[in-house]
A = this chain, B = another copy of it.
Amino acid sequence: MGELRVRDVSEKELLARILRVLGPASRAEIGPGDDAAVLAVPGGRIVATTDTLVHGPDFRLAWTSPYDLGYKSAAVNIADVAAMGARPTALLVALALPDWLPATFVEALASGFRDALADLAPGCAVEGGDLTVSETLTVAVTALGVLDGVEPVRRSGARPGDEIAVAGELGAAARGLRILFDRFRDAAGTPVPIDRDVLTPAEQHDLDAQLRPRPPIELGVLAARAGATALMDVSDGLLLDASRIADASRVTLSIDVDLDDDALSGGEDHALLACFPAGSTPTGFEVIGHVRVRGDAAVLAQGAVPSTRGGWDPYADWDSALG
Contact = CB atoms under 8 A, between A and B. Distances in A.
A6 interface: yes
A36 B140 CA distance: 16
Main secondary structure of the interface of A (DSSP, over half): mixed
A42 B39 contact: no
A99 B315 CA distance: 8
Given A50-B140, A125-B26, A134 B56 contact: yes
A44 B144 CA distance: 14
Interface string A77-115: 000000000000110111011111111111100110110
Given A6-B99, A110-B18, A114-B25, A140 B94 contact: yes
Contact of A136 (B123, B138, B315): B138
Contacts of A138: 52, 54, 96, 134, 136, 138, 140
A58 B128 contact: no
A127 B257 CA distance: 37
Nearest to A139: B140
Interface in A1-19: 3-9, 11, 14-15, 17-18
